[in-house]
Amino acid sequence: MNFSKTLRRTVCAGLVAAGAVMGGSSWAQIGPAPTSASLNATAGPLAVSTSTVTVATGFGGGTIYYPSTAGQYGVIAISPGFTATQSSVAWLGRRLATHGFVVITIDTNTTLDQPASRATQLIAALNYVVNSASSTVRSRVDPNRRAVAGHSMGGGGALIAAENNPSLKASLPLTPWNLSSSFTQVRVPTLIVGSDGDAVAPVAVHARPFYASLPGTTYKAYAELNLATHFTPNSTNTPIGRYGVTWMKRFVDADTRYSSFLCGADHQAYATALVFDRYSQNCPY
């Protein structure tokens, strides 16, 4: 056996594996290849730690969920809806983190804050994680990979944040509410989730027009949940978790292993009428 050649191969393999976790040219593939079962599960492959934010500038505090394994990961901020607190979106924050993201679920300055204010607070929360969180959290963040998400008015805030911050990698508005239905300037890949039974933000007035206004040149998708309500995103939900993780992995991590779960065979096998009332997209991604 050529010991030096074996050693070189071992070192190279180790560097590639480290790159997949730490960032750089291989950061796109964090974690094992996705399967339908792994995306439907309530947690991903990574253990998660938490950090509480009690004092912050620009938003009302929150909780940071981050992979316990050292590495560099994309960072996502999630806003709750009108009158709600971070606890309503905690399940999604933890779920995303288990798939290799640093996630902050925020409390807003007041529970009555409107979408434009929530948009500003989402960006403030991202800046906090990148610049002011504990050294352990900061060491796990890739500041160039940022994304936003939100429920209801927080979803409206996620759309506004995407419109105002084109450097974001992804946006995930969940049963979004906003007075304006025009988002023609959004350049950030955006997945909008609506609910067919939404009586607070009816899809005909909110989610569907929001999606229709997004430019055709922007990567986008619209998933309308079947037999769901405005408040479905406030508790663990398999389609939201599955597609939320997939969207963030595809566009924050640029991991093309997830493409078929958005518009390929794996998506077609899952997205039956029992799951979605309708699903629109401008694939291929």
List the catalytic residue out of 107, 113, 142, 198: 198
Task: Specify whether 99 is catalytic.
Answer: no
Task: Specify whether 255 is catalytic.
Answer: no
Structure tokens at 218: 């922007």
Task: Specify whether 230 is catalytic.
Answer: yes
- Cβ count near 135 (within 10 Å): 7
Integer Cα distance of 17 and 152 in angstroms: 39
Query: Burial of 99 by CB count in 10 Å (0-12 exposed, 13-18 middle, 19+ buried)?
Result: buried
Integer Cα distance of 108 and 111 in angstroms: 6
Q: Show the beta-strand stretches assigned E in the chain.
A: 48-53, 62-67, 73-79, 101-106, 141-151, 170-174, 190-195, 220-225, 276-281
List the catalytic residue out of 88, 152, 171, 260: 152
Q: SS3 for 266? A: helix
List the catalytic residue out of 151, 206, 230, 267: 230
Integer Cα distance of 228 and 244 in angstroms: 16
Amino acid identity, residue 284? P
Catalytic residue ranges: 152, 198, 230
